[in-house]
Amino acid sequence: MSCLILAEHDNSTLHPVTAHVVAAARRIGGEIHLLVAGDGCRRVAEQAATLDGVAGVWLADAARYADQTPESVAELVAARMAPHSHGLAAATAAGKSVMPRVAALLDVAQISDLVGVESGDTFVRPIYAGSALATVRSSDAKKIITVRATAFAAAGTNSAPAPIESLAVPDAPGKSRVVSRRLNRSARPELDAARVVVSGGRGLGSAENFHALLEPLADRLGAAIGASRAAVDAGFVSNDLQVGQTGKIVAPRLYIAAGLSGAIQHVAGMKDSQVIVAINKDPEAPIFQIADYGLVADLFDAIPALTAALGRTGDGGRNP
């Protein structure tokens, strides 16, 4: 067995999800190689080479991979799969766009959102928004997999980096072209990597309230901000903050759910958080069924009070 992992990056920095994918590959077993495809991305390859358990890094550094379009990257991954039994990527927007193409090019199934490894051919993945877990066995010669990062603790780093080998890349016109990327820059931690997430729902009532109430609490806790679909649809925050079945899957140390009911589709994205706090004025809200600590209260009183209470502790308690 041997694994090829498609590294996730922006040409300058390796995304932390890749270390989680390496951890999943180590559960499968065999040698692990990383593939870094991009433009001017040698630094990424150097970072990838330090991940624990990585035997080598392939670097495909060429203008045609600058935007990592799924059409071009999938062809590259499929071509590089010849010596490998398993091909993996993170179950991110990028990984989900590329890996099904790879699988189709190789005429094999793709396994989405891996959360457990039973053996080299038997895997666990969630279905029905996480209401059930399916254990599936692949009969294909090669397994193409996307990995749910939150299900595997990140691989560490190693002081003896693995060798990096550059690949000769044939030049070919791309099938699609990225015109622009508009990323929402934020000083906050990234939603899928944050230790604490403060999430809001429709109960906040307006975009103004959402920001005025949740941002001070998030600032206090060094938290990322998330939202339910209802809050995104109502225009309180941008779509990339949506947590749930079809948004981000998060599993922080602490998840504070404010003014959201706890629809199945939202819970699917956060139920693996270590500690869940729910604040809602409706005592019947389903979110209370999965919360470790539930507070039935009006958000407009409770959130500022919680911000102040946690602040007092932080200032005067542990760090005098």
13 binds other proteins (CB under 8 A): no
Backbone phi, then psi, for 125, in 5-degree steps? -145, 150
- Rounded-to-integer distance, Cα 130 and Cα 83, Å: 33
- Rounded-to-integer distance, Cα 251 and Cα 275, Å: 9
Stretch binding other proteins (CB under 8 A), from 27-35, 54-62, 132-140, 157-165: 132-140
Place of tokens 């959102």: 113
Find residue 147's DSSP bridge partners: 90, 114
- Rounded-to-integer distance, Cα 309 and Cα 22, Å: 40
What is the radius of gyration, based on Cα positions, of the chain?
Answer: 21
Q: In whole angstroms, how close is the CB of 164 to other proteins at the nearest point? A: 26
- Rounded-to-integer distance, Cα 156 and Cα 163, Å: 17
Q: In whole angstroms, how close is the CB of 261 to other proteins at the nearest point? A: 13
By CB under 8 A, name the one of 248, 257, 266, 269 that touches other proteins: 248
C-beta of residue 133 within 8 angstroms of C-beta of residue 144? no
Binding mask 156-185 for other proteins (x = CB under 8 A): -------------------xxxxxxxxxx-
C-beta of residue 53 within 8 angstroms of C-beta of residue 83? no
207 binds other proteins (CB under 8 A): no
Strands 116-117 and 122-127, by their bridges, are antiparallel
Binding residues for other proteins restricted to 213-232, rule: CB under 8 A: 221, 229, 232
Between residues 50 and 307, which has the closer beta carbon with respect to other proteins? 307
Tell me the HSE value of 229 on the side-chain side, using a 13 A CA sphere: 13
By CB under 8 A, name the one of 79, 136, 234, 251 that touches other proteins: 136
The count of residues interacting with other proteins (CB under 8 A) is 93
Fill in the amino acid letter for 265: Q
Nearest residue to 120 via CA among 154, 86, 150, 90: 86
DSSP conformation class of 168: P
291 binds other proteins (CB under 8 A): yes
Residue 278 three-state SS: strand
Stretch binding other proteins (CB under 8 A), from 33-41, 151-159, 197-205, 244-252: 244-252
By CB under 8 A, name the one of 1, 12, 40, 134 that touches other proteins: 134
Binding residues for other proteins restricted to 187-206, rule: CB under 8 A: 190, 192, 196
DSSP conformation class of 314: I
Q: In whole angstroms, how close is the CB of 55 to other proteins at the nearest point? A: 28
Between residues 59 and 98, which has the closer beta carbon with respect to other proteins? 98
Quote the crossing angle between the two packed helices 70-80 and 93-106, to the nearest 10°.
50
Binding residues for other proteins restricted to 90-129, rule: CB under 8 A: 92-94, 96-105, 107-113, 122, 126-129
Q: In whole angstroms, how close is the CB of 145 to other proteins at the nearest point? A: 11
- Rounded-to-integer distance, Cα 12 and Cα 15, Å: 9
By CB under 8 A, name the one of 40, 153, 275, 282 that touches other proteins: 275
Binding residues for other proteins restricted to 18-37, rule: CB under 8 A: none
Between residues 50 and 199, which has the closer beta carbon with respect to other proteins? 199
Stretch binding other proteins (CB under 8 A), from 18-26, 164-172, 197-205, 237-245: 237-245
245 binds other proteins (CB under 8 A): yes
Binding residues for other proteins restricted to 55-74, rule: CB under 8 A: 69-71, 74
Stretch binding other proteins (CB under 8 A), from 33-41, 44-52, 57-65, 131-139: 131-139
